[in-house]
Amino acid sequence: MRISDLILPEDKVFFTLFKEMAEKITEASTTLNEITHELPGGTEKGHRVRQIEHQGDEITRKIYEQLNESLITPLEPDEIARLAPAFDDVLDKTDWVTHQLCNYGIPESNDILKEYSYLILLASTEISQAVDSLSSLKNPDDVKTHAMEISRLYNLSTELLSRAVLDLFKTQDLLMIIKLKDIYEGFAKVMEKCNDVGHALIDIAMAHA
């Protein structure tokens, strides 16, 4: 018998909260992607990402609160405690790099910024789909497929960072080099946290296969 067959309806609130977090991640990454395509305009959207990050903090609080109150959980308590901060980290890093992008006075966008934000958007979509697959605990292979795609996107992002930094040092504007390098590394942190979510999801799915 699967653990999912023993879950009381009210205990599925964890999956509802995880889905809400995944939606917030997608919403934040969508906004970030819009900003990179609208520079030097669009920076007023930065406050929206900050709001989403605060909403994510509230969802994370609810997850821990529910975890403390529940006698029966759809996942092991340590699995829930691993996923919750992993989701929150993605939102935190997305908020921070959005702050950098909107406040560094970047005069125009470039292909690197657009490509990096698009990779983040793609990774957020995979996270959302993986969470949907995890919620049934019946299709671990589906979760694995999405997690592997997150890993592939992460690898692409590391290659992009190397290329981006090399291109930066071909320019003569020292201040812009510093600003863009900081932003690129901020993007890299977001992708790193997305990859951490992917690892957590696949480990949990395999444990319940």
Confidence grade of residue 8 (pLDDT, cut at 50, 70, 90): very low
Q: How many residues does the chain have?
A: 209
Write out the two tokens for 62.
């609810």
- Measured CA to CA, the distance from residue 190 to residue 204 in angstroms comes to 21
Mean pLDDT on 53-76: 91
pLDDT for the residue 209: 73
Average pLDDT, the chain: 91
Comparing CA positions, the residue from 95, 78, 105, 84 lying closest to residue 15 is 84
pLDDT tens across 150-188, in order?
999 999 999 999 999 999 988 889 999 999 999 999 999
Q: Are 100 and 34 in contact (CB under 8 A)?
A: no
Mean pLDDT, residues 110-134 taken together: 96
* Residue 14: closest CA among 77, 82, 63: 63
Cα distance between residue 14 and residue 20, in whole Å: 10
124 three-class SS: helix
- Which is more confidently placed, 99 or 207? 99
Predicted confidence at residue 11, as pLDDT, reads: 62
Say if CB 164 and CB 65 are below 8 A apart.
no
Q: Chain-centre distance of CA 119, in angstroms?
A: 11
Cα separation of 56 and 23, whole Å? 10
Whether residue 143 is predicted with pLDDT greater than 70 in this model: the reply is yes
Encoding tokens for residue 134?
A: 């995890």
Of the candidates 149, 98, 144, the residue with the CA atom closest to the CA atom of residue 124 = 149
Per-residue pLDDT at 200: 96
Check the CA dihedral 113-24-85-46 and report its sign.
positive
- CB atoms under 10 Å from CB of 199, counted, come to 14
User: Cβ of 101: how many Cβ atoms within 10 Å?
Assistant: 26
Q: Domains in the chain, please, with CATH?
A: 3-207 (1.20.58.220)
